[in-house]
Structure 1
Amino acid sequence: MSDFLFSGLNLALATPFDASGKIDFGQLEENIERHIDAGITSFLLSSGTGLHAYLSRQEADELVERGAKIINGRARIMAQTSALLVEDVVARTRHAADCGAHGVMVLPPFFEGPTSDDDVFAFYETVGEGGLPIIGYNIPVNTGVTITPELFRRLIEIPNFVSVKDSSADLVAQADLISTGLPVINGADPLQPYSLYAGVAGVIWGGANIAPKTCAAFVEAGMRKDWDQARELWQSLEPLMSHIWKGDYVQSVYAAAAITGYPVGAPRRPFSELSAEKLSVLRPIVEALPE
């Protein structure tokens, strides 16, 4: 196993909500306990799958604090601390450090933000003042920023910058990042087996909320290069992971998690619940999982 701190499977935990749309911390505890029992050894709190963008600063901070207390040293902890203002990112990162997080995932400047490499570098350099290892988040379709191999090599010079999570879903572009020899994390669910074979250092996986035991076993097999076992496990996961990636990702994860016994309620507005028609298509795919 790699000595990279965030190797293997890092679960992008879905944030549970109650009927009124508030974070359900009782369900959060129950789900974390079940995920740990299923073999999850690393959690990303306030993830994109967990609707980080639709949590207030106070909610996100409380989610990280209470999630860390529940985990209580039994697994690694990442926190997403992305925000529009870099000062807020630093403050959120310091809070995550105080809660015992091992690292943070941070989007580059987004929503009409600067896109030059120099400005992106300066942004992450400032984020480094938060005092935790930083995983940059490469998702160009949402940010307008592409972390290229050249930029990656510059960013890794920042003392606290350790990796890039690539959710571009472009395997060729990801292979270029991997070719730098620096640790890359895959964030595109359908690419998991191909990314592991190409040499990623780890994965951050929202779909693992649905089948954590099988996903953990699959990633473990891939990390030790047991491709026969990895292929066998992936054959059971692929129909679902390809299906949810094609549209309504968050709604599908929330609906599917409930089907497999990890209820997270309805996704928060502006998302609506998955329609009855789409749920009828999703359900048999989920029920075919080995768990």
Structure 2
Amino acid sequence: MVQWEGVMPAVTTKFTADDQLDLVMFEKNIRAQLEAGVHGIILGGTLGEASTLTREEKEVLIKTSLSIVEGQVPVIINIAEQSTSDAIAVAQHAEAVGAEGLMLLPPMRYKATDFETVTYFKAIANSTSLPIMIYNNPVDYKIEVTLEMFDALTECENIQAIKESTRDITNIIRLKNRFGDRFKVFTGVDTLGLESLVIGADGWVAGLVCAYPAETVAIYELVKAGKIEEAMKIYSWFIPLLELDISPQLVQNIKLAEVATGIGTEHVRAPRLPLHGAERARVIGVIDKAMQNRPTLPDYKNLRTIA
């Protein structure tokens, strides 16, 4: 059973120089996430370069993650398919190979109506027993899941959480006012992480956590313990790095940050290419400055968390 709370990294997929899965570096990163205290692992999102992965590679990543985490945290797979039948097939296959939850995007490429989107979500939810997080990101994916649409989705008991990425953090309050604890709400925008937690988000589906797991979890734990000022000190340092997540090249950016912290490589899968020229220099400059001023963290793992 997934406890929908805490920090859940949308992990990157590690590749070798010859474009194979780099399971050695993948394991090193996942173990760093676990050591930092993350609360779940999400595979196959945008950061995971899911659109370039084969079904076989996704299966390898699920099974490898399950072997590494050994039940410490749930392993969740993202679903972003072109058709309802494909999405159902991926969901059922993920359940069969051991995934413990799903993160679900609206239909890709086709801009579905509200009714079509709700029907799509219900069809997938009814095809599996796995708990589901709905990913609401109209900025990038052009479909907003409205409060009325979530009303219709309450009949699916396994739809249990929302990744809220509208960029309007007050939507967290609207969701909480409307649904109480029926849906757990996660912020999905790194640069709104602390603010979202302060106003009531249950968790954070994070990106820069891939390179900086301890700093991300520390912010979450400090906020939940009411230590906002301490959390702000880390967050203020973190913001220039977090801004690397809100870019079309977020994968390349975050992989460069993983190189800096020793838990990743910058290998990406074409058509993505490593950053070059002035933009590469700019991103490395942001990372280098942050590394020179990396904060000393408090003993965040032993804080008493408040509800």
**Normalised TM-score (structure 1):** 0.91
Q: Which amino acid aligns with 2:60?
A: E
Q: For the Cα contact (< 8 Å) 2:209–2:216, is it kept in 1?
A: yes
Distance 1:176 1:229 in 2: 27
Deviations 1:166-200 (A, max 9, x none): 22223344443343234211111100011111211
Deviations 1:18-47 (A, max 9, x none): 112222112211221222122223110112
Aligned-pair CA distance for 1:243: 4.0
Hey, which bits of structure 1, 4+ residues long, moved more than 6 A?
none
Q: Which amino acid aligns with 1:13?
A: V
Residue pairs, 1:86-105, within 5 angstroms = 86-105=84-103
Aligned-pair CA distance for 1:217: 0.8
| Unmatched 5+ stretches in structure 2 | 296-307
Distance 1:276 1:210, change over 3 A: farther
Number of the residue aligned with 2:187: 186
Match of 1:130 among 125, 128, 131: 128
Distance 2:18 2:257 in 1: 20
Residue pairs, 1:9-20, within 5 angstroms = 9-20=7-18
Number of the residue aligned with 1:257: 258
Number of the residue aligned with 1:161: 159
Number of the residue aligned with 2:301: none
Aligned-pair CA distance for 1:113: 4.2
Distance 1:24 1:246, change over 3 A: closer
Q: Which amino acid aligns with 2:262?
A: G
Return 41-50 or 136-145, whichever deviates more.
136-145
Distance 1:276 1:186 in 2: 33
Q: How many residues align?
A: 288
Residue pairs, 1:23-42, within 5 angstroms = 23-42=21-40
Q: For the Cα contact (< 8 Å) 1:135–1:163, is it kept in 2?
A: yes
Distance 2:226 2:273 in 1: 40
Deviations 1:227-257 (A, max 9, x none): 1221122112112112442452111011111
Deviations 1:244-280 (A, max 9, x none): 4245211101111111111133221111111142232
Aligned-pair CA distance for 1:151: 1.1
Distance 1:138 1:237 in 2: 24
1:205 aligns with 2:203: no
Aligned-pair CA distance for 1:149: 1.4
Aligned residues: CA RMSD: 2.0
Identity of aligned residues (%): 25
Residue pairs, 1:1-291, within 5 angstroms = 5-116=3-114, 118-128=115-125, 129-180=127-178, 181=180, 182-287=183-288, 288-289=290-291, 290=294
Q: For the Cα contact (< 8 Å) 1:138–1:166, is it kept in 2?
A: yes
